[in-house]
Structure 1
Amino acid sequence: MQKDQLFTRRRMLLAGAAALGAAGTAGLIMAGSEETPAPPPVLAGPQARPVLKPSEFRLQPLTGNGPPRAKPHKLTVRHQPFVRISTRGRQMMLTFDDGPHPDYTPHILDTLAKYDVRAMFFVCGEMVVDNKELLARMADDGHVVGNHTWTHPLLTELGRGDIRSEMERTSDIIEDAYGDRPQWFRAPYGAWNRAAFQLGAQMGMEPMAWTTDTTDWKEPGTRTIVDRVEDNAGPGVVILSHDAGGDRSQSVRAIHEYLPYLLDSGYHLTVPSRRT
């Protein structure tokens, strides 16, 4: 009974987050190669930046309640993932893959909470097993959790049954820990195939890729990660970072630097609303 009440509370919080201004799925997301995105503005580098005023776009703490989401429904099968979001209101989105990790994810969540910012976390099922409390915190903080498979395999080398197992098991454990089934998925390595698109749609999940890869998975240095984000910032941009899969201390330090810069530059860091 207590567990059911907790999940109900998380669903209400998630609905509240959507009501705060995270745009609807149709209005927020733009398809991948169907459009040629405008190039992001070129930033001049730290030494040439003017003093910036605090942003008026910072998200407010969660308020309000909403109805629990209905059971997942099958979606139209897409042939490519989404790579951008709407440019309305200078929107951008931060996404993190491969977690949750007990050494890195809490620090990233702390920084996001400090600035009242929501993000998307594409988690691996095998990482959730011993870190369910981190998904519970993501739900309570209003973040969106997506499916990144169970073991992070190359889907293009798997049969349809194995792909289904990777995705279904991960959705099951996300629901158990997060309080709701995921509505988004991301193929490991960005390697999509027809089966992944079809199975994702059957499970009620939309495919999400990214606009800009921070290359933090290469551990290139904190400054390189920060520059990668700031130099590619622009309306509609989806940023890919990682909170697991290696030493992510550089990623933890980098978000301390680029997040306030993005906010002070007037970007509205948002997440998709929940479908009901």
Structure 2
Amino acid sequence: MNLGGGALFGSVAVAGAAFYGLAATRVTRPLLWDRFYDHVIWRGSTASPARFALSFDDGPDPENTPPLLDVLERHGARATFFMVGKQALRNRSLVERVARSGHEIGNHSLSHRRMIFLSRTEIEKEIDAGADAIRDAGGGRTSLFRPPYGLRDPRLLSATAKRGYRVMLWSVMPWDWTRPPATWIEGWLRLRVGAGSIVVLHDGGGDRSATVEAVDRVLPALRERRFEAVTLSELIERPA
């Protein structure tokens, strides 16, 4: 499907960045208590050669995850999938395919609840049961956790620290969960991705065909700028 040429792309990207820039900054700004926990991570190393990380939340999903995996394989890109435990149990073959394809798997809780509104016991259950479900579905053990919606408080941060997790947030969010067109997602990524960027996208929670198309279109453009898409662990463990 042809979504327009250079002029359309430029107008969509620039106008969109201006309109949503302030809101995105608010979403990705560290919270007061984040500074007291050294396991909360927003971005990776800016060392050369330039690397960035694509991450996908809310899956795996039988409609969205397979074509996304095809796109990543075609472009030789690695990514990190933050899986919801219940989704992992429903889609075991996809969990196994993600792992087999060389991608990384992270814990996105058992059932994708807003954890700041839960009791401490419920928070711990969401974390632990999510990890158990992902492991039982063939995803192995993970040391990465991303709270649903990015919502976190000192109780969640303490619970994840106690369990040895790194809480992985993000520095680039193109709002794909609002289902914008692929040109919007592509434009946002072209403008915002840099060395050490952590990009949050989604392969669950509804129709993500625009996300898949945008990733397919933007990866060659970023490669031309000598950016390499790697897993989150590869990104954050690279020496500065």
TM-score normalised per structure 2: 0.80
Task: Give the C-alpha shift of residue 175 in structure 1.
Answer: 1.4
Instruction: List per-residue Cα deviations over 1:11-35 (Å, max 9, x = no partner).
Output: xxxxxxxxxxxxxxxxxxxxxxxxx
1:131 maps to 91
Match of 2:102 in 1: 142
Partner of 2:73: 113
Unaligned ranges ≥5, structure 1 = 1-44, 50-76
Post-superposition shift, 1:149? 0.7
Q: Indicate the residue corresponding to 2:30 in structure 1.
A: none
Out of 67, 78, 81, the residue aligned to residue 37 of structure 2 is 78
Question: Is the alpha carbon distance of 1:247 and 1:168 closer, same or farther for their aligned partners in structure 2, counting shifts above 3 Å?
Answer: same
Return the alpha-carbon distance in structure 1 between the equivalents of residues 159 and 132 of structure 2.
Answer: 15
Q: Which position in structure 2 is the counterpart of 1:237?
A: 197
Counterpart check, 1:266 vs 2:233: no
The root-mean-square deviation of aligned C-alpha atoms, in Å, is 2.0
Out of 187, 194, 213, the residue aligned to residue 227 of structure 1 is 187
Instruction: For structure 2, list consecutive stretches of 5 or more residues without a partner in the other structure.
Output: 10-35
Secondary structure of 1:240's counterpart equals strand
SS at match of 1:87: coil
Q: Determine the C-alpha separation between the residues in 2 that align with 1:218 and 1:115.
A: 26
Residue aligning to 1:191: 151
Alignment partner, residue 27 of structure 1:
none
Hey, which of these two has a bigger chunk of helix by percent?
A: 2
Give the distance between the partners of 1:80 and 1:201, measured in 2 at CA: 7
Name the % identity.
33
2:16 counterpart residue number: none
Residue 177 of structure 1 and its aligned partner are, at CA, apart by 2.3
Alpha-carbon shift at residue 46 of structure 1 (Å):
4.2
Cα deviation code 1:27-47 (max 9, x no counterpart): xxxxxxxxxxxxxxxxxx946
Matches of 1:231 and 1:200, distance apart in 2: 33
Counterpart of 2:33 in structure 1 is none
Partners of 2:154 and 2:138 lie apart in 1 by: 28
- 1:203 offset after TM fit, Å? 2.2
For residues 146-185 of structure 1, the aligned pairs below 5 Å read 146-185=106-145
State the SS of the aligned residue for 1:199. helix
The normalised TM-score by structure 1 is: 0.69
Maintained 8 Å contact 1:138/1:178: no
Counterpart of 2:61 in structure 1 is 101
Q: Deviations over 1:114-159 (max 9, x none)?
A: 1221101111011111101111111111111111111111111001
Say how many residue pairs are matched. Answer: 203
Contact kept in structure 2, 1:125 and 1:170, CA below 8 Å: yes
Structure 1 CA distance, aligned partners of 2:61 and 2:148?
17
Instruction: Report Cα offsets for 1:217-258 as digits up to 9, x if no partner.
Output: 001111101101111021111111000112111111111101
For residue 98 of structure 1, give the secondary structure of its aligned residue in structure 2. strand
Please list every run of at least 4 consecutive aligned residues from structure 1 whose deviation after the TM superposition is greater than 4 angstroms: none
Corresponding position of 2:206: 246
> Is contact 1:79–1:197 with CA below 8 Å preserved after alignment?
no
